[in-house]
Chain A
Amino acid sequence: MIKVETPDGKIHEIPVIDYHVHVWKASEDNWLRPELAKGWIDCFYDYHKALSPPEYIMDYNTFKYYGSRKMIEDVIINGYVDIVITQPQYLLYFYLKPFGNTEEFSKLSAQNPYRFIIGTRWDPRDGEQGKLQLEEDVRKYRVKPWQMKHVKLYTAEWKDMGGNLSRGWRLDSKEAFDFIEYSKSLGITILVPHKGPTVWPLDKDAFDVKDVDTAATSFPDVKFLVTHIGLPRFDDFCWIGVQDKNVYAGLAVATAFIHKRPRYFAQILAELLFWLGEDRILFGSDYAIWNPKWILEDFIKFELPPDIEKEYGVQLTLEVKKKILYENAAKLWGLDINEFVKVISNDEISKEKRVLEVKLTKDQTY
């Protein structure tokens, strides 16, 4: 929760929804193919260290497996986030048990479904077996209507296909379309595609986001929350976002620029406000790659530099920040935020939870 006092004396209580939080398991005991499993978590660790302020850097062993308790401490108790949404990735070619785990998070969402929102993932290469699993997971984990409404889709997942290595799949394939139809029938209406670097076939641009465009056009009633705003193809992502009104911008990764590279963050946000508008941008930290505490402390006070405001003709007002921090996500997942705040202000976690208090001065934009 963030409490902002504006110069007119008003107090704004702003709940925070983080659409992108992990509880992963990358410790050695879970490595199936050690070189690849290590390569994966080392790469995450480089991202973590590259953009975090030094005092937030975890030691490597903790980073590999921190468990749900530390996630709750960092993200909710100290990190000002009120509602946590998870985005699991399985990576079963690298790890023995799923890397980003649906099961571990499901314990949290079963106990406290107003605090923790669970989703799962699917892979069209899993075929009928994958559909059965999906159905079972939805039945098992949907303890409230807003649970299991989304799936993280990692199109660059490697998979052993009868002795041959497949390095990924495309969202515009017939098999993926079958899965989207099937997801709809199970009440899964939010797809969270994420691009990675080793998509099949190899000669195509692996980060190409055009398959999202095809899928989004074909399924106008499904929402596509593109995580990491399609980086490193941000330009293509914006053009897709203009055409497809069911495409949303997930800010995880972009938000991490706020501290070390604030001007890039301002430019990215200005482009998004200009092309997609303020109703389709969602806050995410990608914890544990980045801790939401420092991102939120910077974001709530963040102002677009005057030359960028002028160039793009957009403003980052307090009302826009509220949309990014919770309103847009609440709308997408169909959450009645007042009801949620009422319930979570009385749970166990709330007793320890810190509030970020900020007083804005007259010369700050609000």
Chain B
Amino acid sequence: MSQIEKIIRSVIDPETLNSISDLGFIREVKEENNKVMITLTPPTFWCPPTFLYMILEDLRDKLRRNYSEVYIEIIGHHDGERLSKCINNGLKFEECYRGEIIKGEYEELKRRFKERFERGKSNNLVKLSLEVTGEICKLLAEERRWREGG
């Protein structure tokens, strides 16, 4: 596995326990002279911006530790353009959706899902909920890729 593949694989979707590699997010990776450009598509057009942003932040930060220039583009999402702009400009979620959110809630949500993630390791019901959601996302991503000829 190349370095870039390893980095992408280490980014986990907080709603499902799955790596974004297994959820079919990645459409294109271009790497050149310490620069990287990644195009990604979430499993559905309606993927919640909150959780998508958590994924994007994690991916961006990990890439920035290894590359001098990082560019991420989200396609096939209802708010892809805005999300791409915000993540590349280093904006916080609440700056990206100014006026649409309550201050501090995004961080709180992140914390709660980290906890849920931990709970899922020992609690069968939480584990099942995460797994079933992951399975749906994987199946949807496959269909989508096929439909869009990606």
Contact = CB atoms under 8 A, between A and B. Distances in A.
Do the two shown chains form a genuine complex with each other?
yes
Interface of A: 35-36, 39-40, 42-43, 45-47, 49-51, 167, 196-198, 200-207, 231-235, 238, 257, 260-261, 264, 267-268, 271
Contacts of A206: 48, 50
Given A49-B143, A50-B139, A233 B129 contact: yes
Given A46-B143, A232-B136, A201 B101 contact: yes
B50 A235 contact: no
A231 to B, nearest CB: 7
Given A203-B97, A204-B105, A205-B113, 7 more contacts: A46-B140, A46-B144, A167-B100, A197-B48, A202-B100, A203-B100, A205-B109
Contacts of B100: 167, 200-203
Closest 6 CB pairs of A and B: A232-B133, A50-B139, A203-B101, A203-B105, A234-B129, A39-B45
Interface of B: 15-16, 44-50, 78, 93-94, 97, 100-102, 105-106, 109, 112-113, 116, 123, 125-126, 128-129, 131-133, 135-136, 139-140, 142-144, 147
A234 B128 contact: yes
A43 B44 contact: yes
A197 to B, nearest CB: 5
Nearest to A35: B78
Main secondary structure on B side of the interface with A: helix
A203 B98 CA distance: 11
Contacts of A167: 100
B139 A198 contact: no
B21 to A, nearest CB: 19
Main secondary structure on A side of the interface with B: helix
Contacts of A203: 50, 93-94, 97, 100-102, 105-106, 109
A264 B129 contact: no
Nearest to B46: A197
Contacts of A232: 15-16, 129, 132-133, 136
Contacts of A46: 44, 140, 143-144, 147
Contacts, number: 105
Given A43-B45, A45-B147, A234 B132 contact: yes
A271 B78 contact: no
17 contacts: A39-B45, A42-B147, A46-B143, A50-B136, A50-B139, A50-B143, A201-B100, A201-B102, A203-B100, A203-B109, A205-B109, A205-B113, A232-B129, A232-B132, A234-B133, A257-B132, A264-B128
Q: Give the one of A35, A202, A205 with max B CB within 10 A.
A: A202
Contact of A43 (B46, B94, B109, B139): B46
Contacts of B94: 203
A49 to B, nearest CB: 5
A36 B78 contact: yes
B109 A264 contact: no
